[in-house]
Structure 1
Amino acid sequence: MMDTFACLPTFTRRHARLATWLLVLLALLVLGLGIGLRDPWPADEPRFALNALEMVTTGEFWLPHRGGELYPDKPPLFMWATALSIAVTGSVRAGFLLPSLFAALGTLALVMDLLRRLHGRRIALFGGVALLASLQFTLQAKTAQIDMLLTFFTTLGAYGLLRHALLGPAWRWWRAGWAAMGLGILTKGVGFLPLALLPAWYWLSRDGRLTPLRFRELLVGMGIMLAVIALWGLPMIVMTTLGDDPSLAAYRDNILFKQTGERYANAWHHIKPWYYYPLQVLPWAWMPLTLALPWAVPAWWRRIERRDARYILPLSAMVLIIAFFSLSAGKRGVYMLPTIPLLVLVMTPLLPGLWRQRGLQRLGAATLVLLGGILLAAGTLGSLGLPTLQALAERHDLSPWAWWITLGVVAFALLGWFKPRRGLLALTLWLAVFWVLWSTWGYGLMDATRSPNAMMQRLAAITGPDAWLALPAFDEEFLLHSRQPSVHFGSHTPIESQLERAYAWLQQAPDTRWMLIDQGHRDDLACVMLDEARDLGFQNNETWWLIPGTAVVDCQGDEDAAPLFVAPTSLPASRLAVVANDG
């Protein structure tokens, strides 16, 4: 196996084409397996699925809503893609993961094509495998969050700029790259990340090594990006400015200012230290490519000294992107996803040499021993009844021991077969096995724990399908799986005000109205007869009560409070509305 890289240059074009198709089939298996086998899981998936389902149900696409309430935290492009997938498949389960799948496949195609043009077919194939093996890339490809679609657009933007810089002039790709950045901004505000390529490009272009970077072309590109943004942004501004509803103006200000500049400069959540990305995120997010960094960094430095733009441009962009996100106090690990295609572009050409490094192979073997050993030990101890693990399993109604033991056994079996001298290969194959088992066995085990679908079915059986349900302090997954008419009281409304509204609403028709609330709010339920509450058990990290309207006594609800919001997923289109407290 150590001679594999030496043999691959003898590939004919036909062999390369066959290998490419086999890689495509592998990508479809690894990335697509499991679609339709699980519901959306928190934290973000139920929210975007609910946004998309409401678009399909109500026909209101321009301004996303969540439970009948405007959702101002993100632009709508990802929700549009999810709504289209749900509409085409006719199912949330079948459709909600498709945008991430197609975005991942598109990113894979772009990376492989650019590697082929810069370094040849052999390196392009290695690049495809390296991208699929990257832990965060495959994780996000199998997750219905915005970031995989954002990464596709940032990769397309980088592809267009790099095609023009390194292989150009290529004006069509230059323009396509700027248009992709505009679409990326309409997906998640940081779609401009490919602009991190420009400083090094300007530096290298001064001595004629690259296509010149001229101010006029930059203005044209900027105009294209702004024009794409304006396709949605201008109508949105007009609609929210001229409308009489103050919530429209709040939506405009939130999406234009709070979720962009304020979120970056004055973050209010996900606060992490400055070293969060390099020390806590990238070591696992870039795995297994992280293992090669001790050998890759000196090789990169030699290419930087030779002023090789194929390496300098992606490397400089990676460093600037990491620095950009590190400067903000608010940090999430998923923000590093757009760096992975850039890493693959600069790491893959080194792989033929790196593969022969005994130290790297043994490091891969040691990593596999660590991962397999942890899973095998945890699975064995859990199956033997270790109290700590058993208590955790009982709390979540989950017994993953056989799953973990299988993954541990596979790890050591692969290592025994390939030996430590091929440890990196064993680790890569184990990751493929992990994703296959995660997407089948893992989904089956975890879906009931992470999705309240079964609990909401039990709830509807208790109340009857026509009874109305109040959801104070609601989470999107409960609205998404509601089997009956449901209302809530504003996602950012203080819990005290929500409960005042809920009490008034429940007392208007106590025999046909119910409230679902987690037991952590026990102290806020002073005027509720809790002995009448139904304990629905533990779900989504909380224990839940179902409270009938008849259990609310001596409560002075605020009948003049803000409107209730009807959850569109529970009602036919003719009954969708924002309704007042009079029911």
Structure 2
Amino acid sequence: MKPSLSHAHPLWLRSARTELLLFGAFALLLLGLGIGLRDPWPSDEPRFALVAQWMVEYGQWLFPHRGHELYPDKPPVFMWLQALSYYLVRDWRIAFLLPSLLAAFTVLALVYDLARRLWNHRSALLAAATLLVTIHFTYQMRNAQIDPLLLGWMTLANYGLLRHLLLGPSWRWFAAGCFFAGLGVATKGVGVLALLMLVPYLVARRGHWRHLALPVGGWRWAGGLAMFFLPILGWLLPMLLVAHADGDPQHAEYVQNILFGQTVHRYATPTGHIHSPFYFLGIIAVDWLPLSLLLPWALPAWWRRLKRRDARFLLPLGWIVLIVLFFSLSPGKRDVYILPALPMTALALAPLLPGLLRRRGVRIAVCTLTVLLAGGLSLAAALAIHRHPAWAVKIEQSLDPQIWWMLLSIGVAGLVITALTRVRRAPLGWLLFAGVLWSVYGLWGYPMLNGDRSARDVMVQARAVAGPDATIGLLAWKEQNLLMAQGPVAEFGFLKPWPQQYAEAIDWLRQDPAQRWIFSLDEAMGTCVDRHHATYVGHANRREWWMFKVEAVTPGCVPGIAVDQEADDAP
């Protein structure tokens, strides 16, 4: 039994409890500053927020909608939580980010608590801090996407399983772990991978590894695994019953797509994000900085502990290997797929961190990283401000030129921090630099970039052109356009080919030409709209947008299909 916080040996202050409170405040600063200062940004945030908003307005909880079309690409759990968050705070700018923020704090707390129980407070606090300032974790957990929530469920599942397998027997924690793995399935399908933790456990049990619980009770294993299906059935059964009862063919198609098209088919035959089998090695090396800098020293240390048959290392490390191998086998890969492995990596590093962070080689590596990143930002921003190179001019076509002053401020602050902390306190230097980077980005970058990234500015301008009472029809729209639309709007489907949307839009426009406008992507109009009689609305998300009335339409003309109809928005 590990000592309580009041008796734990602190890391650098007199009280372990005070250290934990300060860490929580720092985590809130890193992850929370900027919430309420921006709207959802592409590529995924506007889609999920739009679905959640539709749930609140129309009560469509079982069958999510993107506008008037069903949205079958993801289960609705994440959007449910966004909608429930709105009921709590009544502000979509805050509500859409709350599930990710809560998931981030849950993951940090679980890594800390499990590492403290397995080792001690000092190792646990360093593990949680290392995870917090790892670029991939901080960046993803500040976004309103499904993956941060999935990370929360899978880490809860891992926590429950490891409490049982390493610190147990504890059948309640085993059942809880299985339950949260099921919630992960109901959120994004791959939550079942949390149960792969049983594979290295079976290896350790058969090999009589140390620090391993040996729970006995066959029926309890089955009962715990039954908890895995509870949240899945809690979502599936109502959906299937309603789809069967109403006989709606769209609901039947939705069920087919969500159960098979977005899981098995997408894994086996992906249509995008095709990468080599070694793709995730690059993600670990770059996106997991600065944690990845520790791996050259950690790998031999882990190997020595595995040779000693220490199950506290085999279970998390074996699970990480299985996760990376699983996703490497599919041709389609994205960086977020292996995000659930990051907390377990921090956990496995926990007992090594007090020693690793004292090594001069580690400190030199961390200091070099801080200098390179801060210096690179400073140099690029200074060149953009004073020399205006072609790459900077191209960026300024989409972004506010003030971005260079923001990056310069961050870079200079990083260089000053490095000069003060030097190699001796390089880990503290990175901690402070990360605090400056994400705080400035949230407080300065969010308001500065929001107008273009969220399409708010262009939709406000569209309403100014149309007037307060006219209805705006959206043609070739993106989710952020409908989400940010002001006043009465109509839309003609999201997945329909542009020529079909155009034809329906023109018919709709002619029904009431005095009170209706079309808001359209430039490419979707082709040569069928006279730009001299149309109104240019603005630039947003790397696209040009126009508005026109019936007099700008060329009779009998049908535009062709543009090649980028399904192109992703900027990340």
Q: What TM-score range do you get, normalising by the shorter chain?
A: over 0.9
Report the equivalent of 1:490: 493
Query: Would the alpha carbon gap of residues 356 and 473 (structure 1) be closer, same or farther in structure 2, given more than 3 Å must change?
Result: same
Give the counterpart letter for 1:243 in structure 2: D
Kept in 1, the 8 Å contact 2:10–2:122? The answer is: no
Q: Which aligned pairs between 1:163-562 and structure 2 lie closer than 5 A?
A: 163-209=163-209, 210-212=212-214, 216-279=219-282, 281-399=283-401, 400-523=403-526, 525-526=527-528, 528-555=529-556
Q: Secondary structure at the match of 1:470?
A: strand
1:25 deviation in Å? 1.4
Query: Would the alpha carbon gap of residues 21 and 431 (structure 1) be closer, same or farther in structure 2, given more than 3 Å must change?
Result: same
1:215 deviation in Å? 5.7
| Deviations 1:524-563 (CA, angstroms, capped at 9, x unpaired) | x43x2332111112111101111213322423789xxxxx
Report the equivalent of 2:565: none
- Choose 389-398 or 26-35, whichever is displaced more: 389-398
Query: Would the alpha carbon gap of residues 22 and 422 (structure 1) be closer, same or farther in structure 2, given more than 3 Å must change?
Result: closer
1:234 deviation in Å? 1.1
Report the equivalent of 2:142: 142
Kept in 1, the 8 Å contact 2:131–2:291? The answer is: no
Distance 1:245 1:485 in 2: 28
Kept in 1, the 8 Å contact 2:171–2:220? The answer is: no
1:242 deviation in Å? 3.0
Distance 1:237 1:522 in 2: 40
- Choose 454-463 or 173-182, whichever is displaced more: 454-463
Distance 1:433 1:397 in 2: 21
Distance 2:192 2:109 in 1: 21
Distance 1:285 1:41 in 2: 21
Kept in 1, the 8 Å contact 2:77–2:187? The answer is: yes
Q: Secondary structure at the match of 1:191?
A: helix
Kept in 2, the 8 Å contact 1:51–1:79? The answer is: yes
| Deviations 1:116-169 (CA, angstroms, capped at 9, x unpaired) | 100011112112211211111111221100111111100000001000000100
Kept in 1, the 8 Å contact 2:470–2:488? The answer is: yes
Normalised by the length of structure 2, the TM-score is: 0.92
Distance 1:557 1:357 in 2: 68
Query: Would the alpha carbon gap of residues 430 and 13 (structure 1) be closer, same or farther in structure 2, given more than 3 Å must change?
Result: closer
Report the equivalent of 1:162: 162
Kept in 1, the 8 Å contact 2:383–2:389? The answer is: no
Distance 1:484 1:363 in 2: 54
Give the counterpart letter for 2:312 in structure 1: R
Q: Secondary structure at the match of 1:462?
A: helix
1:218 deviation in Å? 3.9
Query: Would the alpha carbon gap of residues 265 and 309 (structure 1) be closer, same or farther in structure 2, given more than 3 Å must change?
Result: same
Distance 1:522 1:492 in 2: 17
1:522 deviation in Å? 4.5
Distance 2:29 2:432 in 1: 14
| Deviations 1:457-502 (CA, angstroms, capped at 9, x unpaired) | 1111111232222222221000001112222222221222221222
Query: Would the alpha carbon gap of residues 10 and 139 (structure 1) be closer, same or farther in structure 2, given more than 3 Å must change?
Result: closer
Q: Secondary structure at the match of 1:455?
A: helix
1:192 deviation in Å? 1.3
1:11 deviation in Å? 6.5
Q: Secondary structure at the match of 2:191?
A: coil
Distance 1:323 1:166 in 2: 24
Kept in 1, the 8 Å contact 2:10–2:19? The answer is: no
Distance 1:117 1:298 in 2: 24
Kept in 2, the 8 Å contact 1:509–1:549? The answer is: no
Q: Identical aligned pairs, as a percentage?
A: 43
Kept in 1, the 8 Å contact 2:108–2:128? The answer is: yes
Distance 1:354 1:557 in 2: 66
Distance 2:519 2:460 in 1: 13
Give the counterpart letter for 2:145 in structure 1: Q
Q: Which aligned pairs between 1:10-89 and structure 2 lie closer than 5 A?
A: 15-89=15-89
Q: Secondary structure at the match of 1:396?
A: coil
Q: Secondary structure at the match of 1:420?
A: coil
Distance 1:325 1:471 in 2: 38
Query: Would the alpha carbon gap of residues 220 and 543 (structure 1) be closer, same or farther in structure 2, given more than 3 Å must change?
Result: same
Q: Secondary structure at the match of 1:291?
A: helix
Distance 1:14 1:420 in 2: 25
1:71 deviation in Å? 0.9
Report the equivalent of 1:91: 91
Query: Would the alpha carbon gap of residues 498 and 95 (structure 1) be closer, same or farther in structure 2, given more than 3 Å must change?
Result: same
Query: Would the alpha carbon gap of residues 179 and 14 (structure 1) be closer, same or farther in structure 2, given more than 3 Å must change?
Result: farther
Distance 2:219 2:267 in 1: 30
Kept in 1, the 8 Å contact 2:377–2:410? The answer is: yes
Kept in 2, the 8 Å contact 1:511–1:550? The answer is: no
Q: Secondary structure at the match of 1:471?
A: strand
| Deviations 1:87-126 (CA, angstroms, capped at 9, x unpaired) | 2211111211111001111111111110110001111211
Kept in 2, the 8 Å contact 1:37–1:440? The answer is: yes
| Deviations 1:263-312 (CA, angstroms, capped at 9, x unpaired) | 10011122222221112x22232211100110000000001111111111
Report the equivalent of 2:108: 108
Distance 1:422 1:168 in 2: 38
1:198 deviation in Å? 1.3
Query: Would the alpha carbon gap of residues 177 and 10 (structure 1) be closer, same or farther in structure 2, given more than 3 Å must change?
Result: closer
| Deviations 1:377-422 (CA, angstroms, capped at 9, x unpaired) | 1111111032314422431241212111112211211221122233
1:66 deviation in Å? 1.2
Distance 1:333 1:547 in 2: 41
| Deviations 1:172-228 (CA, angstroms, capped at 9, x unpaired) | 100000110111111111111212211110011124543347764443233211122
Q: Which runs of 5+ in 1 are unaligned?
A: 1-7, 559-583
| Deviations 1:419-447 (CA, angstroms, capped at 9, x unpaired) | 22333331232112111111111112211
Report the equivalent of 2:562: none
Distance 2:13 2:200 in 1: 34
Q: Secondary structure at the match of 1:136?
A: helix
Give the counterpart letter for 1:236 in structure 2: M
Q: Secondary structure at the match of 2:262?
A: helix
Query: Would the alpha carbon gap of residues 549 and 522 (structure 1) be closer, same or farther in structure 2, given more than 3 Å must change?
Result: closer
Distance 1:370 1:159 in 2: 36
1:324 deviation in Å? 0.9
